[in-house]
């Protein structure tokens, strides 16, 4: 399964590559407008999934925006950088125990070993 490796502040995450429709550079995209709780891209209002805020980190302007598309909806995820696209075997992804989450709608579903520290996998089914 292919994943796009991204960074948000000090955190490193993996996004299933087949849900990433576009990687948007806000300095190049005139059709991308960010609002307090969402984003408008090419006239479409989209949910903004702020991983930095979810991690309790101070707000900062993201360098890139991922346009994700799932089976039910689309969303914008601000990130600081994209690192690579890599193949990760499903057997290498350890599922996160659901009881650690404060709310039923969770953003992450698993974790795998990746160099100095494990990397979390976004839960596209929970988000989109």
Residue 28 found at the interface with other proteins (CB under 8 A) = no
CB of 24 to other proteins, least distance (A): 22
Rounded to 10 degrees, the C-alpha dihedral 70/71/74/76 comes to: -20
13 touches 77 (CB < 8 A): no
Sort strands 32-34 and 74-79 into parallel, antiparallel or unpaired. Answer: unpaired
Applying CB under 8 A, among 7, 11, 47, 63 the residue interacting with other proteins is 11
Sort strands 64-69 and 20-24 into parallel, antiparallel or unpaired. Answer: antiparallel
Sort strands 11-16 and 119-122 into parallel, antiparallel or unpaired. Answer: parallel
CB of 54 to other proteins, least distance (A): 3
Structure tokens at 84: 């690579």
Applying CB under 8 A, among 51, 62, 66, 68 the residue interacting with other proteins is 51
CB of 43 to other proteins, least distance (A): 30
Site string for other proteins, 79-118 (x = CB under 8 A): ----------xxxxxxxxx-xxxxx--xxx-xxxx--xxx
CA-based max dimension of the chain = 41
- In 3D, which of 72, 71, 66 has the Cα closest to residue 3? 66
**What residues make contact with other proteins under the rule CB under 8 A?**
1, 11, 51, 54-56, 89-97, 99-103, 106-108, 110-113, 116-120
């Amino acid at each position: 399964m292919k994943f796009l490796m991204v960074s948000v502040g000090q955190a490193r995450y993996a996004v299933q590559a087949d849900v990433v429709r576009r990687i948007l550079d806000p300095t190049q995209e005139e059709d991308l407008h960010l609002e307090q709780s969402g984003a408008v891209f090419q006239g479409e209002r989209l949910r903004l999934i702020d991983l930095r805020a979810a991690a309790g980190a101070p707000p900062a302007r993201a360098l890139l925006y991922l346009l994700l598309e799932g089976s039910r909806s689309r969303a914008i995820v601000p990130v600081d950088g994209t690192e690579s696209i890599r193949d990760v075997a499903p057997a290498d992804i350890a599922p996160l125990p659901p009881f650690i989450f404060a709310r039923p709608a969770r953003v992450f579903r698993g974790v795998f070993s990746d160099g100095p520290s494990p990397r979390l996998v976004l839960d596209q089914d929970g988000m989109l």
